[in-house]
Every structure is written in structure tokens, then in C-alpha cells.
Amino acid sequence: MTKRRFGACILAAGFSSRMGSFKPLLPLGDKTVVERVLAVSKAAGIRDIAVVTGYNRELLLPVIEREQVAEAYNPNFEKGMFTSIQTGAAAMPPGLDGFFVMPVDCPLMTEPVLRLLMEQFEPGHFAVACYRGKKGHPLLVPEQARSQIIEYDGKGGLKAITDRDFSRMKRIETGYEGVVMDMDTPEAYKEVKAYLDGGCQSESLSRQAQDRRFFLVRHGQIQQHKEKIFLGQTDVPLSEEGKRQAAAAGKVLKDFQPRTDRLYSSDLTRALRTAKIIQAETEIPHLFVEKGLREMNLGPWDGKFISEIKREMPEEYEKRGAHIMTYKLGHGSENFFDLQYRVVKSLIRILKQDPHRDIVIVAHSGVLRAICANLEGRDISEDWNKMSNGQVRVIQK
């Protein structure tokens, strides 16, 4: 059997505007970020490597020369990342089975991850590294898609190409959180460094949750629209019935006499109003608002009538139904695995900062599904007994 051959295009052309410092040359461990990505690529046996440059090109040239890899200069780097992906794709030599797309701001990929993707690669299919179902980096692009990328007009970026046929995307579970960590901001950079310094060990929810008792409350009923909508992060108020449900939940909670002086809530109005009503009923003194407990972001569909989406985008609607856990539309939107990752991270942060035995959380159906599943050692994709509006559920660890 002929040995497969893969390349790598390392994207290092951007402005690093959100970081405030030039990301490729920031220190990470005993190397700079770009040196680390190059070293991992070479260790995995990849020899056809191109660094895509643009902004601050002159700062990267000495590294490229020293590392003896190719440069692919993107004169259009100001127009966004997809132009760099196109430049990198065009710079890959002929005869490859596929090539990796590696943004330097996702620097925690490892040799075993790259080898895993290469081992599970199928001709004509994309392969992407995942952590607990959430897509991360790198992405392995089949040679058959190279011309599609180079010739595409760029609308919607690379995602518009990979989403054309969901069956062409192979999601490779790595069990390694580093594949979903990026460093777009100084705060994220600190998190990446801490993760690396800590031996790349993910925080354990089961350890933080041990001997705790969780009171989970779904917000009250919202004011109804003339027909059903896709409700994610669209901010809508409680109905009068929802306020009554919140008060009833507060009375139920008060009877449990939770041992805490804190109440946690999503920042969306329907949850926050529910939490304030519960706070008045229980006299819990402190209310903490957690943006990480928001409902799933449904992107351009958020707040739209379901009938409108079915009528105007029937193929996308059917695609969502067939891939309910992984589907998402547009940049910034989330699927269930994205939601799970965000919510669990937020919950771990709460538990690390809160010394009390009891934890009270007011949130949304998707958020509570993620919390319940993970506290019970399951996954968000598994069946669960959906909570009704105003319902209180207790989980003892």
C-alpha cells in the first residue's frame, strides 16, 4: 500500500488585533507559538510545510528560513483568514493526499493528534479534531477540495465549503482539550499557557462537584409569540404565568433550605427575572449573573419563526433535523457540543470559586441538559428527561 503524504499550511498572516501583540512570536513553553506548531508538524512526519505570512511578514522570515520551511505570502491578508487559507492551499505541492490547516492561534495541537487524523483520514473527506464532540483544530483537508477552496469567492469562509455535505466531514474525537483552545485575546493566551504549564490536564467536573448538592431551575414561561420561534439567545421577557412559576419554584427551593448565600443565573431576561423572583422568595442574599449560562446561540435563525425557516431554507432545516447535535449555521452560532463545552467550563469556574456545599442555578433547557448530563457522568447527546418551565431538579453528588 502506498504511504500517504500530507502537507500543512500554518496561518500566521493576521493582525493579532484582539491580542494586542503579534501572536506567532509570543512565547509558549520553550518556543514561540509558530515554532511550536512547526515542531509538532515535523514530529508527526509532515515535510511539506508552508507558513502563510501577511502582517509583520518581515518578523517571520528569519524563523521560516531557520526552520527550512516554505513561505506563502498572502497580499490580501487584510481581507480575512479565508484568503490565507486559499494562499496556503495554492502553496501546497502536487501529489498530496491532503493538507492540514493550522491557525497559529490554536497552538496546542500535538503529534499524537496529527497522527490520529492522518490514520483515520479517508480520501475525499475532511477530518477535524474534536474534544467531547466540539470541533477544534487542526482541520485535515482532502486534496479533492483544494481547487474548491482556491476558486471560491470566500462568502461564509471555509465553513461554507465544509458544510456543503455533512457526510464529507469526519469528526475525530481526541479526548484532548487542547484542540479546542485558542489564544485570540490576552485572557485566552493566559489560559493556554496555564493549560500547558499544568501538563495539559483538563479540569475535572466530577472532582469539583464531589459532595455538592445542585438545585437546578428552568426559567418560567416566556411571553408567547404568534407562532413558534427558534429561541436561543434572543432576549424575551417572562409571561405572567412565568412569573407565577418562578414564585412557585422559589417556594419549593425555600423548603429545601439550601446551604448557600448565592444564586447563579444566566444573564438573559427570562432567566434573570426568574432568579430575582426566586431570590425574593428564598431570601438568598447574593445573585451572580453568568453569561456562560446563556442558552445556545442559534446564529441567524435565533428569534426567527420556525415556519419562516422551513419555507425559506428547507434544505438547511432538513439538514439540521438529520444532524441535530452537530448542526449550526453561520459564524458565532453554536451546536449542542459547543454549548456543552461552554457550560461545563462555566460550571467548573463557579465550583472553584464557591465554597458552599449547595449550588443554585437558574438557566435554560439546553444549559440544564448539559449540566444534568455531565453531573451524571453522561453526555449532552444522550436522552434526558426534559425540565418544564419553573421546575426544580435536585442532583446530589
Annotated catalytic residue: which of 219, 290, 334, 364?
Answer: 219
The yes-or-no answer on residue 295 being catalytic is yes
- Of 159, 134, 135, which Cα lies nearest the Cα of 145? 159
Residue 290 catalytic? Answer: no
Q: Using DSSP bridges, classify how beta strands 126-131 and 134-142 pair: parallel, antiparallel or unpaired.
A: antiparallel
Nearest to 103 by CA among 45, 229, 16, 28: 16
Q: Are 294 and 266 in contact (CB under 8 A)?
A: yes
Active-site residue, from 143, 177, 290, 295 = 295
Residue of 254, 252, 276, 255 whose CA lies nearest to 387: 252
The set of cell numbers assigned to 166 is 455533512
Backbone angles phi, psi at 53, to 5 degrees: -110, 165
Grid coordinates standing for 252? 419549593
Q: What's the CA gap between 35 and 47, in Å, rounded? A: 15
Rg (the chain; Cα; Å):
23
Beta strands at 213-218 and 134-142: parallel, antiparallel or unpaired: unpaired
Other residues' Cβ atoms within 10 Å of the Cβ of residue 106: 23
Whether the bond into 62 is cis, omega within 30 of 0: no
CA of residue 166 relative to chain centroid, distance = 18
Q: Annotated active-site positions, please? A: 219, 295
